[in-house]
Amino acid sequence: MKLTLVSIGINSHLDMSLRGVEAARNAEQVYAEMYTMKMDTTLGELEELAGQQVIPLPRGGMEEQGEVLINAAKEMDVAVLVGGDALSATTHISLLLDARKEGVETEVIHGSSIFTSITDTGLSIYKFGKTVTVPFPEKGPVDSVLRTLQENREYGNHTLMLLDLNMDENRYLGINEAIKQLFETEKFSRDTLLIGVARLGSMFPTIKADAAEALSQYDFGGSPHALIAPGRLHFLEEDALETLAGCPRKVIDAHEV
């Protein structure tokens, strides 16, 4: 008996690996966590791919259903389909640890996620520092975001800023609102080089780099969105931002770390 975490991938069921599809089809029971990220897929499409019924986990997801999943895996082979990469969230790692402690065999099938897809910008994945989430305005100030930006900047590292979401309300923080929050601190320069990304991994992604003031006026279209604050740039990264992200050369030349 085994518990397998299957990564769906960054955008839709079409991103799932062949190994992941095989695991879903061979499992005796399949669950799906559908509430941790926005995906361009439906439960029906996942069921068609798995060739069997897929049980959606309640909004509490694996955090609340861990015991149920582990107990089921003691009796049969269970697969849990997870958006993005299965181990990007600490909750999923905790589930694996709890399962192992209960004597349940585990397996993880990895997939694409925001953490790999940000290389579409041309920035080196090796140079990203700590990731931070920009919260909705009502959740309070963005002090932790500014601290993370400063810490990464001191080492010349890039910063990935994930943007808050509320799946229950179908609400997603956009790039324009996130930049506005940074401006409101009066500690964030409007000349700062930023990269906005939207719908990475989809058929219609948007990648745009510019000074923060200009980027705050750009229309990125539908969610999900994310922001990147570059650190020290290699000349290949500079060329990539100009070519792949349409960044004005003068903004790149003015960028200092």
Q: How would DSSP label each residue in the chain?
A: -EEEEEEEESSSGGGS-HHHHHHHHH-SEEEEE-SSS--S--HHHHHHHHTS-EEEPPTTHHHHHHHHHHHHHTTS-EEEEEEB-TTSSHHHHHHHHHHHHTT-EEEEE----HHHHGGGGT--GGGB---EEEPPGGG---HHHHHHHHHHHHTT-BEEEEE-EEGGGTEE--HHHHHHHHHHTT-S-TT-EEEEEESTTSSS-EEEEEEHHHHTT----SSPEEEEE--SPPHHHHHHHHHHS---HHHHHH---
Question: Which domains does the chain possess?
Answer: 2-112 (3.40.1010.10), 115-254 (3.30.950.10)
- The pLDDT of residue 248 is 98
Residues in the chain predicted with pLDDT less than 70, given as ranges, are: 59-61
User: How far is residue 245's CA from residue 43's CA, in Å, rounded to a whole number?
Assistant: 34
Predicted local confidence at residue 18, as pLDDT: 98
Q: How far apart are CA 18 and CA 20, in angstroms?
A: 5
> pTM of the predicted model, to two decimals?
0.93
pLDDT for position 130: 97
Residue 99 CA to residue 70 CA, distance in Å, equals 6
Mind listing the pLDDT tens digit for each residue in 89-145?
A: 888 899 999 999 999 999 999 999 999 999 999 999 999 999 999 999 999 889 999
Judge contact between 79 and 31, C-beta under 8 A. Answer: yes
Rounded distance between C-alpha atoms, residue 102 and residue 104, angstroms = 6
pLDDT of residue 61: 66
